[in-house]
Amino acid sequence: ENETENASIPPEQKTPQEDGNEKDKGWPVGEGGPEDTEKRGDTQGSTLFVEKPQSGTVSVGGNITFIAKVEAKDLLRKPNVKWFKGKWMDLASKAGKHLQLKESFERHTKIHTFEMHIIKAKENYAGNYRCEVSYKDKVDSCSFDLEVTESQASQSLDIRSAFKRSSGEGQEDAGELDFSGLLKRREVKQQDEEPDIDVWELLKNANPSEYEKIAFQYGITDLRGMLKRLKRMRREVKKSAAFAKGLDPAYQVDKGGKVRFMVELADPTVELKWYKNGQEIRPSAKYIFEHKGNQRILFINNCQMSDDARYYVTAGDEKCSTELFVRDPPILVTKGLEDTSTYVGEHVELSCEVSEDDANVKWFRNGVELSDDPNSRYKIKVEGKKHTLIIEEAAKCDNAVYSVMTTGGQSEAKLSVDLRPLKISLALEDQTVMLGQEIHLKCEISENVEGKWYKNGQLVEASDRVKIYHKGRIHRFIIASAAVEDEAEYMFVPDEYDTKIPCKVHVVDPPKLHLDGLGENNTVTVVAGSKLRLEIPITGEPTPKVMWSRGDKMITDSGRIRAETYSDSSCLVIDTAEREDSGPFRITLKNEAGEDTALINIKVVDIPDPPQAPNVTEVGEDWCVMTWEPPANDGGSPILGYFIERKKKQSSRWMRLNFELCKETTFEPKKMIEGVDYEVRVFAVNAIGISKPSMPSKPFVPLAVTSPPTMLALDEATDNSVTMKWRPPDHIGAAGLDGYVVEYCFEGNGFSQSISTDQSEELMEPPFNVEACESNSLMENLNPKTDEWIVANPELTDKTKFTITGLPTGSKILVRVKAVNAAGESEPRYHPQAILVKEVIEPPKIRLPRHLKQTYTRRVGETVNLVIPFQGKPRAKVSWEKNGSPIDKNEINIRSTDNDTIIFIRKAERSHSGEYNMKVEVENFEDKAMIDIQIVDRPGPPEVVTIDDVWGDNVNLSWKPPKDDGNAAITGYTIQKADKKSMEWFTVIEHYHRTSATINELIIGNEYYFRVFAENMCGLSEDATMTKESALIAKDGKVYKYPVYDDFDFTERPMFTQPLVNTFAVAGYNSTLNCSVRGNPKPKITWFKNKVIIMDDPRFRMFSNQGVCTLEIRKPSPYDGGTYTCRAVNALGEAEVDCKLEVK
């Protein structure tokens, strides 16, 4: 039977591979024939591979390994390696049970090794493989083949396995007989082809980017329609009530083959109809219907491409559809390509024939596909079954391997393009050209090809000066005006040929001297003592002979004056030029083309002589004035200026004072140090250089008086004396400061009236404004009558404070102070105002430190040292009292000065506590201050501790507060227990605030004593009060007799347990007043300010929590100061407490 049933098996009914792994069964699908790219990679030299994988053979079920090695010596990182099967399939995604990819690196050899292991090979693993390695822009690839042979056991044909059922999972008798196993094995034996591939399954599992490749490889022409049907087939199919078994989602058949559609009805009486693309199918020789029980079968014979459509069958209202894919038979290459050799420029055609007309054929060049682009130099021509690749004008770049590929085969051929043999019709000729004439080189060759011109082996490009022409087989090289540098060996080299056509060009030129760089009248100036090397450029071809002479004497090439000659210049050399060397020198050039001569004047100049020693005419504080005479000889060049240097007499290091030339013969050095001996000297400068230094001047010393004293002010005035104070001068100078002179005069007698009107305005009030005087140099116009100023200190004073005595009361005096040193008296410093000789009363003011405005607390035995500053003049009187009584100076030391008073207690005792009142008196004025000092100590022990009750493992204790609280509030109690047997004490409760407590978790059967310590800010009391009786914790089994208690009256009138405290607050910062109260029933709390109740005022907030009452004052101001009262009221009575708040 010629027709073969080739319907595809749906994916869910396909028999799994022998290993049961769906991942392993998919990777061989993309195998194809060997690619031209890999073949080209094998023929060309490898750039990265050290060892390439080799083709191999393995039997079915066997293992094989392919190895590739890459050298890493020149690589900065690991190269990328990919393994492919066929053209597109990347095997990295197929790694699994049957395929493993490994890599390793050997450090000592620097070799990367890449391995591909194929495990338990199958028949469809055979084919062409490719290994590709890449690093940056380098790529290298290698192809190899794998042949899989059948083992002896598998070569025997299993007839029973060949007759397998087409469906029926796990049921031997279900489904139709499928002979495809026999057919496939027979096809393998008859043709060496791949197993039949289900294109539908490939498209269903492939990436959308691979659809076009699969369509070309398997001959699918209507890819767009197939993809539309594929999309419809992926929709979910609802379970049908009419069909027990429906059509498969899709069927596939080769062109000319036969396909079978079968459905199974749930009700055989239902009418059935078949449709193709919506048109009902009628029985015919092509469409055959069969009925087998509930099965309805449709056969389609001799399938053509028109049968590739959507089919569906209807049973009543139900419909079942499927898709039929008709695949074109593979297109075979019936006549392959042939190797071709040709010459450059020839017309080339590469032809092949295929099995079908107008078949889809792809052309490749070295594995790269050629496009049918109109602008491409490759043209593709199709004539029925014949396909031709046309190259109009072949070039060397067309040397390559060309291949053609169809869906069923491929063919390749090698194209070799060589050059035609070259003949020289007219060679280049040697030429001799005069300078400025045209150079014309011409040659003729047998081929019309481009070429390059070379000069002395260097490529010459066309330019404005060099013209290069090519017309047909003639090549020209033209230089319109020859130059000396054009003399060379020229050569023409045709492109793509290893032929050289040389010639020589000789350019001649008469000699010539080039004196453009010389001065006027060819004058050259040289400094005496230096070396002159005068280089004169010369030209001429051939090289001219050079002669130097001075007068009638020829200059040789040796001696102090000598001549040196080079190919392009001549040098006149004078070692250590002297003034006698001045004069004309002649140079003469000669060669076969003529001669040239010139005169060159040599002028020798020198530096000037040193000037004479300078004279210092005037000296100041840090400056001087110096003058000098010009040098006698200027060295043949005018004097441009002078440099000045100075140094300390005892130093050897000179320092330059001016970096710009001084044009005059007078200079004023500055910034010198007073009291130091200096010397100066001068250098003369001309265009040649700097002269030697002059002799140094005579030593001189800068010296000046000090600046006036500063900040002269009145310190104190009495009825007959005035005390002045000042600060030293800002600038004293090297002469130092010997002392001060204080002078005074009575108002109206110290100054003349010769002051200008403008300056008198600056005086403002007598005597004058000193700052204005200084700023406008007013002091120069003040002419004091020296007999009116009285010296207050006949002897200099070195202090900055002085008292002028013996002054009449009520008079006014003017005071000035001068500083005196070895250079004399400084400018005087005047007091800005007249001073009244009378004592000034300053009311007293006590500056009480902030920490003393609150209670000052110290512990017994500590030192108390308080310093309280105050103000007041004259002769302020300080007095102290304690609690209204005078202070016992035997216990408390009090020391007072004019500015402060100190209260000192070496070892504080509790008796020193109290209010200390301080009073400062100045005549009828006084000021008072109060200091509250509290000396605290540890408290005494609590009073009697009693055991109130014992029950279970608990004991109830109570005690009374201590009589002596240590002058500080009791902050808590510490309770300890001790077993009667050991009498070792253990702390049970610390910092306990109440006077009764319950001790828990005592050991039953033990007998305990208890003691209590009192605690305040100084610590625990030295002694503790112990219970007189012990508490026995009774054991189980004893009958406890409960005592009878009378009802306790818990009612209590309000009582403040913590009063308010006087407080100082800072304006703008929140302040709080706190107190605690108890009472039963709970008392009502009311706050008052200055006896006025506080209600609904947003600046105040009141809180009460567990008996603690708080009044918060938000951002107080001085207005909020006053007396604040807290009142607690209940049914049994009331209580109140107050305090003072001061806001600063």
Cβ atoms of 656 and 646 within 8 Å: the answer is no
Position 1085 scores a pLDDT of 93
Per-residue pLDDT tens over the stretch 807-846: 888 888 999 999 998 777 889 999 998 988 887 778 899 9
Tell whether the model's pLDDT for residue 1059 goes beyond 90.
yes
What are the CB-based long-range contacts (under 8 Å, 24+) for 646-651?
A: 646/672, 646/678, 646/679, 646/680, 646/681, 647/678, 647/679, 648/676, 648/677, 648/678, 648/679, 649/676, 649/677, 649/678, 649/679, 649/699, 650/677
More confident residue, 723 or 4: 723
Tell whether the model's pLDDT for residue 768 goes beyond 80.
no
Position 154 scores a pLDDT of 44
- In this structure, what DSSP letter does residue 1107 have? T
- In this structure, what DSSP letter does residue 302 have? S
Position 1122 scores a pLDDT of 93
Per-residue pLDDT tens over the stretch 370-402: 887 888 888 888 888 899 999 988 888 889 999
Cβ atoms of 106 and 114 within 8 Å: the answer is no
Q: Which helix (H) or strand (E) holds 233?
A: helix 223-233
Tell whether the model's pLDDT for residue 777 goes beyond 50.
no
The position carrying tokens 């001061």 is: 1142
The pLDDT-based confidence of 328 (bands split at 50, 70, 90) is confident
The pLDDT-based confidence of 151 (bands split at 50, 70, 90) is low
Angle at alpha carbon of residue 214, lines to 211 and 219, rounded to 5°: 120
Tell whether the model's pLDDT for residue 883 goes beyond 50.
yes
Tell whether the model's pLDDT for residue 177 goes beyond 80.
no
Residue 812 vs residues 504, 745, 789, 802, 829: alpha-carbon distances, Å: 118, 9, 14, 17, 18
Q: Percentage of the chain with pLDDT > 70?
A: 85
Position 750 scores a pLDDT of 46
Tell whether the model's pLDDT for residue 182 goes beyond 80.
no
User: Residues 6 or more apart from 552 whose CB is under 8 A from it?
Assistant: none
Question: Please, is 376 exposed, middle or buried when counting C-beta atoms within 10 Å of its C-beta (0-12, 13-18, 19+)?
Answer: exposed
Distance CA 270, CA 265 (A): 8
What are the CB-based long-range contacts (under 8 Å, 24+) for 314-318?
A: 314/272, 314/273, 314/275, 315/242, 315/243, 315/263, 315/265, 315/267, 315/270, 315/271, 315/272, 316/242, 316/270, 316/271, 317/242, 318/240, 318/241, 318/242, 318/243
SS3 call for 1076: strand
Position 781 scores a pLDDT of 40
Tell whether the model's pLDDT for residue 20 goes beyond 60.
no
Distance CA 135, CA 484 (A): 52
Over range 97-116, report the average pLDDT: 87
Tell whether the model's pLDDT for residue 415 goes beyond 80.
yes
The pLDDT-based confidence of 63 (bands split at 50, 70, 90) is very high
Per-residue pLDDT tens over the stretch 597-628: 999 888 888 888 899 999 998 887 888 999 99
User: Residues 6 or more apart from 1059 whose CB is under 8 A from it?
Assistant: 1075, 1137, 1139
Tell whether the model's pLDDT for residue 453 goes beyond 90.
yes
The pLDDT-based confidence of 255 (bands split at 50, 70, 90) is confident
Position 776 scores a pLDDT of 43
Question: Please, is 377 exposed, middle or buried when counting C-beta atoms within 10 Å of its C-beta (0-12, 13-18, 19+)?
Answer: middle
Please give the mean pLDDT across all residues of the chain. 82
Domains assigned to the chain: 31-156 (2.60.40.10), 197-327 (2.60.40.10), 333-418 (2.60.40.10), 424-509 (2.60.40.10), 513-528+538-557+570-605 (2.60.40.10), 615-686 (2.60.40.10), 710-836 (2.60.40.10), 842-924 (2.60.40.10), 945-1032 (2.60.40.10), 1052-1143 (2.60.40.10)
More confident residue, 767 or 794: 794
Rg (CA), the chain: 64
Torsion of CA 701, 706, 707, 708, to 10 degrees: -160
Of 1013, 1020, 993, 1133, the residue nearest 1076 (C-alpha): 993
Question: For 1089, what's the count of Cα atoms within 13 Å in the CB-facing half-sphere?
Answer: 15
Distance CA 786, CA 282 (A): 154
Tell whether the model's pLDDT for residue 1111 goes beyond 90.
yes
Position 197 scores a pLDDT of 61
Position 762 scores a pLDDT of 35
Per-residue pLDDT tens over the stretch 520-538: 788 888 888 888 888 889 8
Which segments of 108-231 are extended strands (E)?
A: 111-118, 127-135, 138-149, 164-165, 177-178
Over range 158-179, report the average pLDDT: 40
Give the pair of three-digit tokens for residue 659.
């970096």
Phi and psi at residue 36, in whole multiples of 5°?
Answer: -65, -25
Over range 759-782, report the average pLDDT: 39
What is the reported pTM?
Answer: 0.31
SS3 call for 208: helix
Per-residue pLDDT tens over the stretch 699-734: 988 888 888 999 999 888 888 888 999 999 988 877
Over range 574-595, report the average pLDDT: 85
- In this structure, what DSSP letter does residue 28 have? G
Phi and psi at residue 429, in whole multiples of 5°?
Answer: -120, 145
Position 9 scores a pLDDT of 32
Over range 338-354, report the average pLDDT: 89
Per-residue pLDDT tens over the stretch 916-925: 999 999 888 8
- Looking at 179-183, 522-526, 1007-1011, 1067-1071, which range is the least confident one? 179-183
Distance CA 723, CA 712 (A): 11
Q: What are the residue ranges of helices labelled H in 258-314?
A: none
The pLDDT-based confidence of 125 (bands split at 50, 70, 90) is confident
Distance CA 872, CA 842 (A): 5
Tell whether the model's pLDDT for residue 83 goes beyond 80.
yes
